[in-house]
Amino acid sequence: MTMPFYVSPEQVMKDRADYARKGIARGKSLVALECREGIAIVAENPSRTLYKISEIYDRIAFAGVGKYNEFQMLKIGGVRLADLKGFQYSRDDVTASSLANAYAQTLGQVFTHEMKPYEVEILVASVGATPEEPNQLFHILYDGYVVDEEGFTVLGGQSETISDAIRAEFQEGLDLGAVVRLGARVLAGERDALPASQLEVATLLRSRPARAFHRVRGEELDALLAV
Amino acid sequence: MIEPPLPSFPTGSDPGPSFLGLLRRMAPDALPGALAGPGSSPGPPGPAPEGVVHGTTVVAVRYADGVVMAGDRRATAGFSIASRRIEKVFPADEHSGVAIAGAAGPAVEMVKLFQVQLQHYEKVEGEPLTLEGKANQLGQLVRANLPAAMAGFAVVPLFAGFDDRQGRGRVYSFDVTGGRYEESDFHANGSGGVHARNWIKAGWRPDLTADEAVELALRSLFAAADEDAATGGPDLVRRIFPNIAVIDAGGYRTLDADDVAGRADNLLGGRERGGDGS
């Protein structure tokens, strides 16, 4: 009879976290920034069809980095949860914080109970209906750890470096164009600022009446990036 | 073990992009009555029980750049007027609309479900359904309502929208079995539908402008109200006029009440005023 090797729980968790972090670090990063008009989410993504940023509900967006199939599944789960809740109660009862909680619980559960943790970091962002109503940025890690961010947040491997770069230039009340250009610049790092073809940009605009989510592409994106 | 809070399904029973399928699995209690499945018929076959509220006449008219939808404001329950201000024309999504005739309660629930269904598909798939796909979805909801229709709670919607691929407005009608029929130019439903349709037929041209199509729709509803007791005419005392939506390449927009009132006043200065009343 063979005895299984003893591995301490600390070691198990550390191994899993390292595994998840490595997976995430292989992918490209994403930034979300608050601006006068609402929230801009900018990702480095050469694909025109495999999105990292999606609409979840009227004023709520989702973004993910890491393994595509995993954050895609989380996105669909969020859409389902939100639509069910909105249909059963009212559209105003669907909130970013309850979605963030559901994501945190799901990710936490997978991290401790499944063979392999999800190699993802996700963002749940919601824009206030009026300038007085605050925006919300929930940054959720692979193990279910939630951070409620203010101003901006960075998802992905090089988040420290990119955060420092944003902090140097970011201030409250910038306009949409300015934060999108800032995003394109900091995601590039040492390279030249990323061109429109390498970017996926989506916004949550306070001024849009029913569905705040709006994908910025084509000429509209070119216009924002130029100046 | 605690169930994960996000809905998840084993392969094979995943509802995919269908919100109706999701609702069936996750919250069957929240399904509108007749859609809950077999055995949920609201009653034996027969005419509607007394007191059931019915919405009446709705029209959809294609014009050069899109389509106009309009509905009168009356709801009846037997011989009583249940509402003078009911709305029967709703946006289905940004580029299509749905207008309802029939039992008002189930119809409004059907519209609400249909709206969520279209948006749910778009968010899950990342692309909206084609106009044809949307019409088929609505057909499925109408078909699922058949047991209720047999018990007198029939819902017969009109669906219309702007088809991006073909660059034109399109109109679909349905029967209680869920049969879906694309109408070439216009359609009208409900108790006054026959009168409205005849009026539109006499005035329709392929090159109508949006304003002309709105005028034609208004006139057809007034004509229907003239002949049909269940269709509400223009209420000049309370200033109640039909709901009107215009759908073109720019999307769905509702004409505001003052705009419609102004158009109605202009029309009523014409042919309807001072007729011989025969």
Fold that domain A28-225 belongs to in CATH: Glutamine Phosphoribosylpyrophosphate, subunit 1, domain 1 (3.60.20)
How many Å lie between the alpha carbon of B122 and the closest alpha carbon of chain A?
9
Sequence spans of domains, chain A:
28-225
The rounded distance, in Å, linking the Cα atoms of B225 and A62 is 49
Residues 6+ apart with CB under 8 A from B234: B222, B225, B240, B241, B242, B264, B268
Q: Which two tokens stand for residue A191?
A: 């390279």
The rounded distance, in Å, linking the Cα atoms of A225 and A203 is 14
Q: Which two tokens stand for residue B150?
A: 């047999």
Query: Which pLDDT value is given to residue A136?
Result: 96
The rounded distance, in Å, linking the Cα atoms of A12 and A115 is 11
Query: Which pLDDT value is given to residue B97?
Result: 98
Q: Which two tokens stand for residue B259?
A: 């705009």
**Architecture per CATH, B51-273:** 4-Layer Sandwich (3.60)
**A103 strand-pairing partners:** none
* Cα–Cα distances in angstroms (integers) from residue A163 to residues A151, B3, B260, in the given order: 11, 35, 54
Name the one residue in this structure whose structure tokens are 């670090």.
A25
Decide: pTM greater than 0.90.
yes
> Which helix (H) or strand (E) covers residue B6, if one does?
none
| Closest C-alpha to A155, from A51, A19, A25, A59 | A25
For residue B278, name the pLDDT band (cuts at 50, 70, 90): very low
Query: Which pLDDT value is given to residue B277?
Result: 45
- Chain A contacts to B (CB-CB under 8 A): 49, 51, 54-56, 74, 76-81, 83-84, 86-88, 101-103, 105-106, 109-110, 113
Could you report the per-residue pLDDT of B144-184, keeping only the tens digit for each?
988 888 888 889 999 999 999 999 999 999 999 999 999 99
Q: Which residues of A touch B6 (CB under 8 A)?
A: 74, 77-78, 80-81, 102-103, 106
How many Å lie between the alpha carbon of B89 and the closest alpha carbon of chain A?
18
Name the one residue in this structure whose structure tokens are 């304003």.
B211
Active site annotation includes B254: no
The rounded distance, in Å, linking the Cα atoms of B201 and A165 is 66
CA A97 to centroid of chain Cα atoms: 14
The rounded distance, in Å, linking the Cα atoms of A56 and A53 is 10
Could you report the per-residue pLDDT of A120-164, keeping only the tens digit for each?
999 999 999 988 899 999 999 999 999 999 999 999 988 899 999
Mean pLDDT of B29-52: 71
The rounded distance, in Å, linking the Cα atoms of B62 and B160 is 9
Residue of B nearest to A215 (CA): B126
Please count the residue pairs, one from chain A and one from chain B, whose beta carbons lie less than 8 angstroms apart: 58
Rg (CA), chain A: 18
For residue A1, name the pLDDT band (cuts at 50, 70, 90): low
The rounded distance, in Å, linking the Cα atoms of B266 and B239 is 14
**A203 strand-pairing partners:** A40, A214
Q: Which residues of B touch A87 (CB under 8 A)?
A: 19, 23, 30, 112-113, 116
Rg (CA), chain B: 20
* Cα–Cα distances in angstroms (integers) from residue B34 to residues A197, B107, B147, in the given order: 49, 11, 7
Query: Which pLDDT value is given to residue B148?
Result: 87
Q: Which two tokens stand for residue A19?
A: 């595994």
Mean pLDDT of A202-213: 94
The rounded distance, in Å, linking the Cα atoms of B247 and A136 is 34
How many Å lie between the alpha carbon of B116 and the closest alpha carbon of chain A?
7
Could you report the per-residue pLDDT of B63-110, keeping only the tens digit for each?
999 999 999 999 999 889 999 999 999 999 999 999 999 899 899 999
Type of residue at A147: V
Query: Is the distance from CB of A128 to CB of A147 less than 8 angstroms?
Result: no
